[in-house]
Amino acid sequence: MSKESWGSQPESNRPKADWELDEQTELVRAGLARTGFGETSEALFLNSGFTYTSAEQAEAAFAEEVDHYLYSRFHNPTVAVFENRLAKIEGAEMCLATGSGMSAMFASVACLVKSGDRVVASAAMFSSCYVVLTEILPKWGVEVELVKSDDHQGWKEALSKPTRVVFIESPSNPMNEITDISFVSELAHKAGATVIVDNVMASPIFQKPLQLGADVVMYSATKHIDGQGRVLGGAILGSAQYFTDHLLQFNRHTGPALSPFNAWVLLKSLETMKLRVTQMSDSAKIVAEFLTSHPKIEKVSYAGLKSHPQHELAMRQMNGSGGSTLAFALKGGKESAFAMMNRLRIVDISNNLGDSKSLITHPASSTHRRLAPEIREEQGITDSVVRLSVGLCSPTDLVKDLDQALK
């Protein structure tokens, strides 16, 4: 099925805007596909399958000779509107929605590699991504090499040999390490690699990896895109060639599909995403600045602070924003971290991020527990580190809550 037919709508007699629409308007209207009933909200197609007017039409549909929805595991009208809208915002030719962020990460890489291939990745990343790259892919005979985000010489050496995939997480979760996407992409393309960027921490609002030279972008749509703790989802975005040559057939036969209901929820969330994440980032900077001067805090890792070692690079890549999530280390180790978390009154303890509610977690004992202690140490995820995802609460209240908890 062609991209154009995904979410197609009846022609309207009203003229279309003859100017370039603002991103906020596109978040509300891009890819809009109304049925003949003219509904204001996007239609919700909960069906698993579709019917055909004849056996001949069914045959032609499966032979891809005519455009027709086949099965919601392959494509679905509601999911298609979400995909088209997100592709428009990202500046991508195509988008594929998946059931979770990790299914998006796995599919984006796995559709490209085979035994004997080589993958190079930024060393700092979410623990499940680390497991996929360093434990699962090597079982398939794929060689994987990790490079520190800021090690330019390390990237040059790693990409001096033929490479199939480069996987970058920037900013990294949870320590906000920044990789120079343009620099690495240029090296990667000379090595024959497809560059995939996990853009979860930045969100589609603050960073456009495709404009920086990357080939593919992936998201956990659970974070920021929904951003309200309701549904799981993921997305992969890139060129039509990447989709046609690699991803679509892999997706069709492995089935990491997004449910139509979750797609509908995510569609409604896109309408407010820019408003939410902009406010969350502004508040995160206020909170980070407060923590840097607190006597019980040893270190704050937030790209929006001038003290961050890659601050200037982050500001260039992330449209001047530090994002909604920061990490900080307390004096006194795990005991102090747990004591502070348990005293918080309006910040919830949860392992999610990018949510409208402010959430805090202890990565070493939760999100990154799966990693060996020495790997956590290399990534700076010590027992004294906590990760704070700043939501839509007043930054004044967040500062007061953190201050009383630290006392």
Total-model pTM: 0.94
Residue 118, pLDDT > 90, answer: yes
Residue 64 has phi, psi (to 5 degrees) of 60, 35
Q: Enumerate domains of the chain plus CATH numbers.
A: 3-268 (3.40.640.10), 272-406 (3.90.1150.10)
Name the average pLDDT for the chain.
95
Residue 36 has phi, psi (to 5 degrees) of -65, -10
Q: How far apart are CA 158 and CA 154, in angstroms?
A: 6
Banded model confidence at residue 46, pLDDT cuts 50, 70, 90: very high
- List CB contacts of 234: < 8 A, sequence separation 6 or more: 97, 98, 99, 100, 101, 102, 103, 104, 105, 218, 219, 220, 221, 222, 256, 258
Instruction: Please identify which residue in the block is written with the tokens 């989709």.
Output: 243
Q: Give the chain's length.
A: 407
Task: Give the rounded percent of residues in the chain with a pLDDT score beyond 90.
Answer: 93
**Structure-token pair, residue 19:** 């100017």
CA 200 to chain centroid: 3
Residue 6, pLDDT > 60, answer: no
What confidence tens digit (pLDDT) does each residue in 157-212 have? 999 999 999 999 999 999 999 999 999 999 999 999 999 999 999 999 999 999 99
CA 153 to chain centroid: 27
